Amino acid sequence: MACLPASAQLRVVNYNISALEGSASDLQAVFAACHADDAIGPAQPIDIICFQECTQAAVGPLGTLLAASAPVGVSYTLATYTTSSSEDNATGAQALFYRTGRLTEITSGHLDLVTGGGRKSDRWLLQLSGYTSTAARLYVYSSHLKSSTGSANEAERLTGVTTLRNNADTLPAGSNIIFLGDYNMYTNTESGYEAMTTGGVHPAIDPWGTANWTGASNAIKHTQSPRLTTSNLVGGGVDDRFDLQLFTAALNDGMGLAYLPGTVRTLGNDGNHYDIAINTGNNTYYPSNIARSNALADSLHEASDHMPLIMEYQIPAAMSATLQALPPRVLVGAAVPVRAVVSNVASFVWAAGIDDLPFSVSGSQSVVGSASGQAPLAPATAIGQLALDTSSAGIASGIVTVSTTAQAAANPTIQLPVSVQVSAHANPSFSTTVDQDTRALAWSFAVGTANAEIDVTIANFGFAGTASLLLIDGTTSSGQSISAVAGIGSQVGATPATIRLRLPGSAAMAPGSYPATVQVQSSDENLPGRQFYSSTINVTITVDGAPRPEDINQDGTVDGGDLALLLSQWGGPGDADIDENGLVDGSDLGMLLSAWG
């Protein structure tokens, strides 16, 4: 079965490989089956594999077989390996290989411990890559204790266990510890087993429980021997639970690095092969694929006189946090949410293999509020929402801190800076010296004037710095139909804008006085917090009984438009001959200027 490399739960395997006295090709097939095993959860490449009976001559070929079995992109590193000729003579030492890039060895944590049987136990200290917490470290003790029955052998195993426990109990409280290997214990009542699982600082926890493991009803737990006949490999059939993988309380709390309950299994053991070879008849380890099960059983039979023990461990969460994009500029009083996007980015093939990621979000300075939640596995995200204080103009800045209490999590605290320009609102005014929202306007023009026009100025009062421009959006009128023909769309900063008002029906108006109201609509720039304004012009329109000759263009006002016409007709006849002397001259100019406005 194909198994893609992935950073998911830790797959830990221990395997007595009988000093490579079995079939090398079948041993490689067993390694490949360890990677591809999906009897409990999805397939997952081995992360840690400990071998017992690994002689000096075997360690190199063993690494080659492991490398050849690995999925594409997966490689292994040999941890500190120590041995001697005396250990070789006692079937071999301990060897640990770990997945390159997934773990690193802290070599100062390695120890050799004399635990009997002519062999030493090894202790390694591994750090999960990508995690800096010491709670993401793992002590692994691999042992091959004295074999055979009898009180003397049991006593020697107890001595070895006492050495293991005494050493482990010197480690700090809360240490993650795995004890594994070939313990050669026959029953749960053996003194060495009881010494492993009770008392002291770090008693070991047995994933199968501490009840009796002998007999056909417990065959699923047995690891030795997959063969009935003895050759260079020991026979006797599947009837002993010699190989153990135990762990301490820190790996049994469901937090950070932790054993995944129910994942312990002996590879290829279907529980139906008690006291016989593992490949006798059909094997149902994979119930829906008997052919696959039988092929595995055949390889186990030829590879070694033990079978691998596999367990899965949860890995800590890994936090990612970013901010949703904030507007670079807003207006005073704008409601600006500050959203932290949080995710658990520990990659996985099995979601159960990743610890939960509770998180909290807090702000400083202009970022106010707090939030909390549970971050899902990527690519899903959770939002922790705070708010930006925009109560005053200036730079609203601060820090969003996202943190988690998840044990040993990668990136447990992430700080995200915030900086947003807060601008003052615009302020429409008919004056540049006082804040004037209403204006009285007297508008006079002569009877018969067509499309009378008048100019009105409007300022952005108090404009300075980064304050919003004032946008002139439009006008409405009542009493008389007055429209704006210029100035709409102006963006007013420090310089006032001019709005030109027009009364299209002015030519038909009889002499008299007419009231009207003009509302000038304006607004801030289109930024968060934008406001809309309405300024009022109360107009009194006076229509004179006779046309004013000085109002040359008859727009109701003597102004620059009339002066332009007069100058364009200078020295000749025309409408600008106000005194009707036949020429447009200085006399006419004087009359126009005296009537100005």
**How confident is the model over 89-104, as pLDDT tens digits?**
889 999 999 999 999 9
Pairwise CA distance, residues 230 & 118, whole Å: 23
Q: Does one domain contain both 273 and 200? A: yes
pLDDT of 7 higher than 70: no
Residue 298 located in a structural domain: yes
The CATH code of the domain that includes 444 is: 2.60.40.10
Average pLDDT estimate for 42-60: 96
Average pLDDT estimate for 279-286: 98
pLDDT at 407: 97
Tokens of 124: 């390694």
* Residues in CB range of 23: below 8 A, 6 or more apart: 299, 302, 303
> What is the total count of domains within the chain?
4
Q: Does one domain contain both 510 and 577? A: no
pTM of the model: 0.82
pLDDT at 119: 95
pLDDT, tens digit, 9 for 90 and up, residues 328-339: 999 999 999 999
The CATH code of the domain that includes 412 is: 2.60.40.2410
Average pLDDT estimate for 216-232: 96
pLDDT of 3 higher than 50: no
Pairwise CA distance, residues 304 & 445, whole Å: 115
pLDDT at 8: 63
Tell me what the pLDDT averaged over the chain comes to.
95
More confident residue, 4 or 577: 577
Q: Does one domain contain both 183 and 62? A: yes
pLDDT, tens digit, 9 for 90 and up, residues 53-88: 999 999 999 999 999 999 999 999 999 999 988 898
The CATH code of the domain that includes 252 is: 3.60.10.10
Q: Does one domain contain both 334 and 262? A: no
Q: Does one domain contain both 390 and 520? A: no
Q: Does one domain contain both 383 and 488? A: no
Pairwise CA distance, residues 128 & 103, whole Å: 5
Residue 554 located in a structural domain: no
Instruction: For residue 162, count CB atoms less than 10 angstroms from its CB and return exposed for 0-12, middle for 13-18, buried for 19 or more.
Output: middle
- Residue 108 backbone phi and psi in degrees, to 5: -65, -15
Q: Is 124 in contact with 105 (CB distance < 8 Å)?
A: yes
Q: Does one domain contain both 329 and 308? A: no
pLDDT of 410 higher than 70: yes
Q: Does one domain contain both 125 and 204? A: yes
Residue 2 located in a structural domain: no
pLDDT, tens digit, 9 for 90 and up, residues 367-380: 999 999 999 999 99
Residue 553 located in a structural domain: no
Residue 250 located in a structural domain: yes
Residue 68 located in a structural domain: yes
Residue-number span of the structural domain to which 330 is assigned: 319-422
Q: Which among 140, 98, 141 has a CA at the least distance from the CA of 120?
A: 141
Cα–Cα distances in Å, from 87 out to 28, 80, 93, 181? 24, 16, 6, 16
Average pLDDT estimate for 148-167: 97
**C-alpha 443 chain-centroid distance:** 66
pLDDT at 461: 97
pLDDT at 553: 84
347 confidence band (pLDDT: 50, 70, 90): confident
Cα–Cα distances in Å, from 415 out to 340, 360, 361, 370? 10, 12, 10, 14
Q: Does one domain contain both 300 and 355? A: no
Q: Does one domain contain both 301 and 354? A: no
SS (H, E, C) 478-490: ECCCCEEEECCCC
> 394, 422, 450 — which closes off a domain?
422
Q: Does one domain contain both 138 and 263? A: yes
350 confidence band (pLDDT: 50, 70, 90): confident
> 314, 332, 350 — which closes off a domain?
314
Residue 4 located in a structural domain: no
pLDDT of 321 higher than 60: yes
Residue 1 located in a structural domain: no
pLDDT, tens digit, 9 for 90 and up, residues 540-572: 999 987 777 888 887 767 889 889 999 999 999
> 270, 288, 314 — which closes off a domain?
314
pLDDT at 368: 97
Q: Does one domain contain both 17 and 65? A: yes
